[in-house]
Structure 1
Amino acid sequence: MERLEAFQEHVSMKFQLYNGLLLHMPFPEVRESGMLLPLFSSACKQGMESGEPPQQIVRSFLGHATGADNSAQPGAAAGDLDDSDIDPLFSLLRLIERQVVLFDSLEDAGFTRIHDMKGPGTLQDLLNRIERKDKTQAYREFLDSYAVRVVLTAHPTQFYTDEVLTILTDLADSVEQNELRNVHDYLLQLAQTRFKNPQKPTPLEEAHSLMWILEHVMYRVIPEIHARMVDALNVDHARRLEYPGKILLGFWPGGDRDGNPYVTADLTEQVAELLRTAILRLYLQDFLQIRRRLTFTSVVDDMERIQRRLEAAVQGCGAFVGEYEAYDTPEELRADLLQVYQAVMQENGGLFSDRVAGLIYKVQCFGFHFASLDVRQDSSIHERVWGRLLPLLQDAGVAETSAPYAELAEPDRVAVLGRICEQLQGVEPERRKQWCRSWADAIEQDDDHVAADVLRSLAAIRVIQNRNGEHGAHRYIISNTQSDSHVLEVLALSLLSGIASGEIPLDVVPLFETIEDLHNADAVMRRLYAHPLYREHLRSRGDDQTIMLGFSDGTKDGGYLTANWEIYRAKERLTDLGRQQNIRVAFFDGRGGPPARGGGNTHKFYRSLGREIDSSSIQLTIQGQTITSMYGMPAAASYNLEQIVSAGIENNLFVTDYMQLSDEDRSLLDELSRRARAAYRRLRDNPVFVKYLEKMTPLTYYGRTNIGSRPVKRGGTSELSLSDLRAIPFVGGWSQSKLNVPGYYGFGTALRELEAEGRLDELQRLCAGNLFFRTIIENSMQSLTKANFRLTAAHSQDPVFGDFWRGLKQEAEQTRKLLIAITGQGDLLDTDPVIRASIEMRESMILPSLVIQQFALSEIRQLPEDHPLRPRLEKLVVKSLAIGVNASRNSV
């Protein structure tokens, strides 16, 4: 209750206060819409409760607001409206989106009061527990190999512009400090600031945008957590300074070319240089502050040398400042800083040594790369590349096959790739590089830019590693991995790019996404481990294998419950296989913001994995507005990173029966998953499924938002298909309509069937005794809490989609009822009233924008394609998309 009271005091009450300021800003448009919005919000709530459709609510309100009589007929055609009717709706949306920024700022400002910064899941609580249980030695042994990798992606779910994000941050700071004048001024600024990018950002601009988080938050927070982790080891301080970073950063802008034709090899190199220059400038900035204090004779010459070499490094590799050459590696910089540290300790009583140690920790965490650029491409593109390369390699006397690559069966592909690798190893690296360059040019001339970029991207990785170190770019992720050949294709390409034989400094990361691919993952990896070429490669990489698992496409393919359970089972099988082969497996989770894409409570998710899944390395993607909400300010970033870090340590140091699944538990989850998947697949295979998304939700409008460089669907066909559709618009279409289908559908059917068999008590025991199952339930509760079927109730009468919509509603209602019964809660999220209160406030705030969105969609469906009002209504839909995403913070 203390957390709920803190939320009410620092968020709810302050929102009422500051919202009053916002609604009465001294601008004509704001003043007018500020008077209308409370009235319209009330009309929306009353209309929803009485069963009025959004089209009628808006038309009625417009009639009252303007004095017109366009509301008399709820089903009137849109043609009787004009621009003067639509303009007030845009004004209301602009005000609502600013209310969301205010609310975000208030939650950020109250973060440390709402959250227990030393409670369960935090590093302090964990370290105290380690000390109490006398597990320091076990902790020391485990920490040697433990690391967390947080990967920032450029997936298009962040609608705030950089200018708005800056205001949000400054506003939160002023609220926290109770600086009323600044709050007032920032609200004035907010009222006059554009929220929409005038055009889609380029991948380079996306990288620049995320750099703010790296430079202003991660650079400060990660080394502090790292220092606390290693300080708890009770070893000599010099030894602590040797520990490599325990929290690693990954970066996808500029490297993720899966479905994004605008990411090129040149751009990848540009982003890598951006990262390198940024971290070196930060080191130099910190060092200059330290030099102001370390004026001691014992270190003055060393300080001069370090400064000049850092200045040269900022200018570029091989540069000089005077007689001093740029640092080539972070190890050189660390060695010089350690020398200064030791001199200060020995000759100056350790004065200001903590500042030197702090910079050493940063160098250990970030090197000269800041964040590792992951290169990612779809397996189908690699197949296309090999279709082009095979004839060229045959002409060069390297490959022998009588059939085109596309016609080769899987065993034949594996055999051909193996022979090619063996023969390439006998070719001089420079000759291979020349082949790679000339063949990329030839493919480019045939207008296959994507295939040509694959060859150039491998060359770019070599360049980046020479400049930034191996950690600058050392992973190649293969989307849609389905077979052994998909992995061997990339390995062979790396050899072709000119990398020395047997020394491929590249981790090839298969990404298994669909339910079938998850089922086959261990079989694929077993064959790869047995392949002499790949096994030798793994030995050169320290017998470490990273495997990525995609929640988004797993959910789209098999439904919420099945995706979670099949990923869990796949991890168990892959862990067991790795242990048999003496291979250390690291799982990289492709998690999005909402439960439908693997989101939800991160600590509980990773804490629930148990001993059968390797958690000595935790890796996950963070994307879109989730980056801002969870890592946009130091306090939130520290808290959320600690939740991830502590989960892996607890799993390995405090293994209890509480997290283990018995054979009976597994059998029950298998049965639930089977039934849930069958129900979801019946829905997904219904011909109405994709048509409903396309016609009745704003899915098709995501491509018109200027928030990301990547297209919303794979493939170049105009026809919408589920297989080509990206997970973000797929989940987004459902969440914008407040149906949230991917977060629960099928789960309720499975539960109902077991309840009908008198087995509710089995489910209750499983929930009470296993954290994994309870986490699945609680995350699904979040999806249901955000659902609002009243918004689209009119769809129940649609001649095409009526039965379909009623089926969705029935599934949501039965899921809600049974989740409450299984958990014993009085209502959804009773165990976390703060989350529920936040969701309720946000949903209430954005209800008017959702009503406007549904109104516009309804009107558009009645208009011919060439009607002059249609573009304005479509802009209304696009404008409303941002509000729903930003308000939910993890809605897409």
Structure 2
Amino acid sequence: MRIEKQETIYQNEVLTRFELYNSLFQTLPFQKIKYTGALLPFFTLHCEREVENQVDPKTIIEDFFEKYGQYQQGMDKVDLLFRIIQYIERRVVLFDAIEDAAFVKTGRSEDAYLLGSLVNQAASDEDLNEKIIEKLKNFSLRLVLTAHPTQFYPGEVLGIITDLTQALKNNDLDNIVLLLQQLGKTPFIKKEKPTPVDEAISLAWFLENVFYPVISTIRKQLGSNFESLESKDQIIQLGFWPGGDRDGNPNVRVESTKEVSALLRTVLFRAYYRDFRVLRRRITFRGVEQYMNNLQSVLYDNSFNPADEPENVKPYIIENLEAIKDVLTERHNGLFTELVDDLALKVKTFGCYFASIDIRQDSSILRKAHQIVREQTYPNALNKEQFDDLSEQEKNGSLQFKETTLSLDNIDDPLVADTFDVIKYIKTMQKAGGELACHRFIISNCQQASDILQLMELFLANGWNIDELPIDFVPLFETVDDLERAANVMKMLYTHPVYQKHIKERKGQTIMLGFSDSTKDGGYLRANWSIYKAKIELTAVSREHEVDLTFFDGRGGPPARGGGKTQAFYASMGSEVENNHIELTIQGQTISSLYGSFDTAHYNIEQLLQAGLASTLNPKPGDTLNDGEKALIEAMADVSHKKFLDLRHHPLFLEYLEEKSPLKFLSEINISSRPVKRNGNSKLRLEDLRAISFVTSWSQLKQGIPGFYGVGSALENAEKTGKWDDVQALYRSSGMFKTIIDNCSMAMSKINFNITSHLAEDEKYGDFWKTMKEEYERTKKYLVKISNGDSLMDEFPVDRDSIAMRERIILPLVVIQHYSIQKLSELDENDPLHKVYSKLITRTIFGIVNAGRNLA
């Protein structure tokens, strides 16, 4: 009954309203939009009917044009397709805004993950109240914003979405009409690729307009319910990768880091200054004049006249706010002290930096940099080949940890030079914003303990002190092989005397576990299980050496990259997995869909906080797996892994992706400063292809291979070997396993093999396509069976209906894209139409990606 009620509310508040306002959009006074809007319903119905009948996209488009004789000239047809794309892009925005406006009524369906319910219980249960306070004393939630290109609207469009959402909430029809007209005239496409600083500016919009008010509101809520937590500033933290993430992005240099650091400070102080102006307007009493003038000066200067070398003025701001509060309390009956408390809480939370900039670089670059350190500071230094031939024990034993100064004038490799530059510049950032402004260096592709120990030496060779090194060195384990050896790597570090002393000073160790490359490497089920198993092993070795462990999860976007129902994942951590801190990346459509408005961000941050508490305060016995359950998942992961590798090693695998998906066009869409692949000028290799590009290409194909392939075979094998009852029991008892399966169902709901069904008869790719389709049908069958439902996602009707509507909105884009790919295969590269159809493909990519916000 409850599920039916949720679905009814969603139907009334979202789907019905969308149809109403979409009809309004079709009548807007734009000649081209109006004409396209009138024609689009016929085009959409035509696409739906023909796709269902498994007609190929080229035939679908050509048959449609035959029915409308006025589009007989080639460019007229193409012009209409471009206008359809523009119209659908705006339909996606309209749907986004309507969903956001209705979120309070439709979104709070997972009561088990609400922080508020736990707070209410604690109010009448003293024992629970004490447990929550004790847990929160050592608990933190860190959300790290990344610039990974999974969705980027221009800032102007984000502003329209925000205003349109508010107008829809208020049923302000006049304003809605004006905003829809503005939307129709506002360009969605950037003509140039964004720089890393441009990406930071885009994300700063969310920091300023969403995270700033939401985090302070939640922080205030926690303080008012649990008084002993009022003095804890960092329960909720923000991290930031634009300008700091160098891994595979040669466009990020130390100048980018400097600009982004300054940008974050300026945006933050302007937010402070707006709040201060409200404060000043209310507090007009005697006794506070000097403190007010002090704050006016420091906040205004940092907002509009920033210094070249700014200082950390957080203590100064807090000191003056506390002085104002004292005067109000002693002389003015405490009037307006809540305004002072509100601003003081924000300053304590965000300091002078807003979000901590993480520095990330690949271990291969760091090893090159360390070779220079050895050459300049080690007597009788080994050359690269000799050093690389040493065992891991010999490498670590040879490190000297000297505090030296390098000569950096003649470094040929710009990435190595930048590594030294940014290591030096971190000191400047810490001076300006305090240690938390920049205190983490993430080592991508970390394969051995020496990768971290050598990085420590890079710091010591660039002005840092071994006894005062306020930097957390964070290894990133991502491939299946890296995950398997992660515990041994950390054990070697924990027993190394220099590193042992360092983590004692840092009061713990953060380990990042990436998801994207492990999926590309081993398939969906193997990636999920490898990460969970690594967490168990890393928790055990960390507890053995009494190290406070924090897992930093590289998750986000679609389930194929670790997204999906993230809160459910964290709430299901068993006692074998350390869960005192939650850290995860949020990116692309995850930012806009889960944190794009005050309501959605407030709700999802609450869910994550409660999930972290629930796994400790209300652990479910089934969430800690026994040996038999581990063996069962391991066996299924093995079957799934083999099935995925058989496909990945197929001689047509990469060729199919290049020829039938828009992979080669991803580099032409101006949404990211990052290259589509590493080693940009070389021939495409799977290992060089970025995981996001890999997942996006399969998503555009509507085949979604990384999100399901191998799962069906694993479940089928369990049934054939008499383990089906055990698998169903595991689905009911283990939140972790259930989340894996439910997220897979979500990924499957985005798949439509009918789009590419014409390839079944393709002379070259026919058998390859049929292999993928067979696994899709097998997986669908067993996902429905394990959930005891009638179809995919029966348990989540709101999510299912949202996905279905979004898929319907973008179906014409998918058809246009595959029609264009078919047309390109018939054209010579010098044909003028080749460029036109290429542009059609790149334009469809935007709309398809943006519409997938509920993949997050």
Calculate the TM-score normalised by the size of structure 1.
0.93
Cα displacement (A) at 1:243: 1.4
> Contact 2:371–2:384 at 8 Å: present in 1 too?
yes
| Structure 1 residues 220-270: Cα deviation after superposition (integer angstroms, max 9, x where no partner) | 0001111112222244xxxx5421221100011100011111111121011
Per the alignment, in what secondary structure is the counterpart of residue 761 of structure 1? helix
| Structure 1 residues 767-825: Cα deviation after superposition (integer angstroms, max 9, x where no partner) | 11111111111100011111000000011111221111111111111111111111111
Which residue of structure 2 lines up, in the alignment, with residue 152 of structure 1? Answer: 145
Aligned equivalent of 2:22, options 19, 23, 47: 19
Cα displacement (A) at 1:656: 2.7
Residue 224 (1) aligns with residue 217 (2): yes
Cα displacement (A) at 1:415: 4.5
Change (3 A) 1:408 1:7: same
Residue 2 (1) aligns with residue 5 (2): yes
Alpha-carbon separation, structure 2, partners of 1:712 and 1:456: 26
> Contact 1:421–1:495 at 8 Å: present in 2 too?
no
Opposite residue 574 of structure 2, the aligned amino acid is: G
| Structure 1 residues 382-429: Cα deviation after superposition (integer angstroms, max 9, x where no partner) | 122233443233xxxx3433x31244246556655665543x23x4xx
Per the alignment, in what secondary structure is the counterpart of residue 112 of structure 2? coil
Residue 360 (1) aligns with residue 360 (2): no
Aligned equivalent of 1:547, options 499, 508, 511: 511
Residue 204 (1) aligns with residue 197 (2): yes
Residue 463 (1) aligns with residue 428 (2): yes
Alpha-carbon separation, structure 2, partners of 1:68 and 1:249: 52
| Structure 1 residues 510-550: Cα deviation after superposition (integer angstroms, max 9, x where no partner) | 000000100000000000111111112112212x1000001
| Structure 1 residues 693-715: Cα deviation after superposition (integer angstroms, max 9, x where no partner) | 11111111110000011101011
Opposite residue 268 of structure 1, the aligned amino acid is: T
Matches within 5 A, 1:75-90: 82-90=74-82
Change (3 A) 1:400 1:532: farther
Opposite residue 345 of structure 1, the aligned amino acid is: T
Change (3 A) 1:310 1:186: closer
Aligned equivalent of 2:608, options 614, 639, 644: 644
Matches within 5 A, 1:456-535: 456-535=421-500
Cα displacement (A) at 1:344: 2.4
Residue 184 (1) aligns with residue 164 (2): no
- Farther off after superposition, 707-716 or 339-348: 339-348
Per the alignment, in what secondary structure is the counterpart of residue 513 of structure 2? strand
Change (3 A) 1:118 1:763: closer
Which residue of structure 1 lines up, in the alignment, with residue 596 of structure 2? Answer: 632
Which residue of structure 2 lines up, in the alignment, with residue 75 of structure 1? Answer: none
CA RMSD of aligned residues (A): 1.9
Aligned equivalent of 1:391, options 375, 392, 406: 375
Which residue of structure 1 lines up, in the alignment, with residue 769 of structure 2? Answer: 805
Cα displacement (A) at 1:120: 3.0
Which residue of structure 2 lines up, in the alignment, with residue 408 of structure 1? Answer: 387
Where in structure 1 are there 5+ consecutive unaligned residues? 70-80, 321-325
Cα displacement (A) at 1:891: 4.9
Cα displacement (A) at 1:488: 1.3
Which residue of structure 1 lines up, in the alignment, with residue 61 of structure 2? Answer: 58
Which residue of structure 2 lines up, in the alignment, with residue 194 of structure 1? Answer: 187
Alpha-carbon separation, structure 1, partners of 2:304 and 2:798: 49
Which residue of structure 2 lines up, in the alignment, with residue 775 of structure 1? Answer: 739
Change (3 A) 1:654 1:460: same
> Contact 2:358–2:438 at 8 Å: present in 1 too?
yes
Which residue of structure 2 lines up, in the alignment, with residue 590 of structure 1? Answer: 554
Aligned equivalent of 2:103, options 111, 119, 133: 111
Aligned equivalent of 1:372, options 348, 356, 376: 356
- Identity percentage of aligned residues: 40
Alpha-carbon separation, structure 1, partners of 2:385 and 2:758: 49
Which residue of structure 2 lines up, in the alignment, with residue 267 of structure 1? Answer: 256
Aligned equivalent of 1:330, options 314, 317, 321: 314
Opposite residue 198 of structure 2, the aligned amino acid is: E
Opposite residue 104 of structure 1, the aligned amino acid is: D
Change (3 A) 1:274 1:410: farther
Alpha-carbon separation, structure 1, partners of 2:394 and 2:812: 61
Alpha-carbon separation, structure 1, partners of 2:548 and 2:235: 17
Alpha-carbon separation, structure 1, partners of 2:226 and 2:144: 27
Alpha-carbon separation, structure 2, partners of 1:628 and 1:731: 19
Cα displacement (A) at 1:722: 0.8
Per the alignment, in what secondary structure is the counterpart of residue 460 of structure 1? helix
Alpha-carbon separation, structure 1, partners of 2:304 and 2:271: 13
Opposite residue 49 of structure 2, the aligned amino acid is: Q
| Structure 1 residues 657-676: Cα deviation after superposition (integer angstroms, max 9, x where no partner) | 14221222111111111111
Change (3 A) 1:356 1:319: farther
Residue 32 (1) aligns with residue 12 (2): no
Alpha-carbon separation, structure 2, partners of 1:487 and 1:319: 32
Opposite residue 258 of structure 2, the aligned amino acid is: E
Which residue of structure 1 lines up, in the alignment, with residue 156 of structure 2? Answer: 163
Change (3 A) 1:82 1:414: farther
Cα displacement (A) at 1:742: 0.6
Alpha-carbon separation, structure 1, partners of 2:54 and 2:320: 72
Alpha-carbon separation, structure 2, partners of 1:368 and 1:215: 14
Cα displacement (A) at 1:842: 0.7
| Structure 1 residues 45-70: Cα deviation after superposition (integer angstroms, max 9, x where no partner) | 1111222111100011122223577x
Alpha-carbon separation, structure 2, partners of 1:313 and 1:421: 42
Cα displacement (A) at 1:380: 1.0
Change (3 A) 1:369 1:418: farther
Alpha-carbon separation, structure 1, partners of 2:493 and 2:749: 44
Opposite residue 648 of structure 1, the aligned amino acid is: G
Residue 796 (1) aligns with residue 778 (2): no
> Contact 1:138–1:653 at 8 Å: present in 2 too?
yes
Alpha-carbon separation, structure 1, partners of 2:123 and 2:632: 38
Per the alignment, in what secondary structure is the counterpart of residue 237 of structure 2? strand
Where in structure 2 are there 5+ consecutive unaligned residues? none
Per the alignment, in what secondary structure is the counterpart of residue 777 of structure 1? helix
Aligned equivalent of 1:139, options 128, 132, 142: 132
Aligned equivalent of 1:827, options 768, 771, 791: 791
Per the alignment, in what secondary structure is the counterpart of residue 865 of structure 1? coil
Opposite residue 400 of structure 1, the aligned amino acid is: N
Alpha-carbon separation, structure 2, partners of 1:851 and 1:716: 30
Change (3 A) 1:731 1:328: closer
Change (3 A) 1:406 1:192: farther
Alpha-carbon separation, structure 2, partners of 1:751 and 1:680: 14
Alpha-carbon separation, structure 2, partners of 1:312 and 1:166: 27
Change (3 A) 1:825 1:469: same
| Structure 1 residues 315-373: Cα deviation after superposition (integer angstroms, max 9, x where no partner) | 678899xxxxx974323322332233244234332221111111121112101110000
Per the alignment, in what secondary structure is the counterpart of residue 889 of structure 1? helix
Which residue of structure 1 lines up, in the alignment, with residue 800 of structure 2? Answer: 836
Cα displacement (A) at 1:24: 2.1
Opposite residue 375 of structure 2, the aligned amino acid is: P
Opposite residue 655 of structure 2, the aligned amino acid is: K
> Contact 1:405–1:413 at 8 Å: present in 2 too?
no
Which residue of structure 2 lines up, in the alignment, with residue 293 of structure 1? Answer: 282
Cα displacement (A) at 1:83: 2.2
Opposite residue 188 of structure 1, the aligned amino acid is: Q
Which residue of structure 2 lines up, in the alignment, with residue 74 of structure 1? Answer: none
Which residue of structure 1 lines up, in the alignment, with residue 643 of structure 2? Answer: 679
Change (3 A) 1:346 1:739: same
Opposite residue 867 of structure 1, the aligned amino acid is: D
